[in-house]
Amino acid sequence: MVSRSLSGYLCGTHSGALRSRRGDHLPLHALAEAHRALEPSIEGVEVQLGGERWRPDERTARLAERLPPLLDDDSIVELVLFGSQARGGTTGFSDVDAILVITDQAAGDPRLLRSLRPATLAAQREVLAYQPMQHHAFEVATPTLLGLAGDALALPRVALNETRSLGGDSVMARFTAADSAAERDRFRELASVLVGIDSWASHPWRAHRLISMFELLPAVYLQARGQHVPKWQSFACAEDDFGDAWWPYEVLQEVRSGWPPMQNAGLRAAAVTLRNPWFAVAAWRRLPARTPEPVSRLLTADCLGGLQSLGRRMLESVS
């Protein structure tokens, strides 16, 4: 709750009309008080995040140049990148997976949090200019929250096996043993949503989000069965359980590799104009738009049905 609330406030995804209806965030003063009440864990495995400077490919070079001056603040410890940005091999589909680490002092002081917000919103503008399909903000943590990293970030330790940092500094995180019951519940919740989808979304932002959820499903399925592997390795590991029925995930790999970079001039202009760039995304995803032609032909009803059939088989296996 504290980590989600920090991310929602600083990055802008819990502002005004964007505010979650589920009530899964804390008001600013309650957030600062809740953070001050946290006690870091002394149990679990300590893991180093970052420590090696992020060296982006040509596609991401502009973003890498623009972020450091925006995040040059005494309250910011480091920006740690993971996923394809840290591993390399990004495509037009790749988003920006990153953890913004701020000081404990900032998280416990509403005044400092308010002063830090313009910098994080500016960084979000640059992320959205790079990838309009981005459907999540930075994860936000503190040294205290990283002492409870598994719960705070809602990420398994293997998701952070490969990390790079914007400034080349390292931060330490502590992960306790995974809660197997919680992992099974998380898998069932995700799979149940996906098997109930009626059709592929036509809007590129919504299609990108749905594909990303299907891509995550094999990793969460394996976690529910006690096998922890990074998402990028999960396809190969889960395929052995399903044989020839696995073909829809081969289609998704084609979609990822063939997704063109989305250069949306209108969205970029709106993100720069608006104080909170996520309002531009919220407006754009409500306007008519089509998934790019090179990949829309791959997103057939048969592909969706095949993915959902696999999801049901995974549910049966975990149950």
Rounded average pLDDT over 66-93: 95
Compute, in degrees rounded to 10, the torsion defined by CA atoms 66, 291, 271, 84. Answer: -30
Q: What is the pLDDT of residue 269?
A: 83
Q: pLDDT tens digit string along 147-165?
A: 999 999 988 899 999 999 9
pLDDT band at 18 (very low <50, low <70, confident <90, very high): low
Please tell me the pTM assigned to this model.
Answer: 0.94
Percent of the chain's residues with pLDDT above 90: 82
Tokens of 10: 């600083």
Burial (CB < 10 A; 0-12, 13-18, 19+), residue 21, is: exposed
Rounded average pLDDT over 66-95: 95
Rounded average pLDDT over 94-118: 97
Q: What is the pLDDT of residue 95?
A: 94
Rounded average pLDDT over 20-32: 78
Task: Give 269's Cβ-side CA count (13 Å radius).
Answer: 3
Q: pLDDT tens digit string along 249-295?
A: 999 999 999 999 877 788 888 887 888 999 999 999 899 999 988 89
The full set of domain ranges for the chain reads: 2-175, 180-318
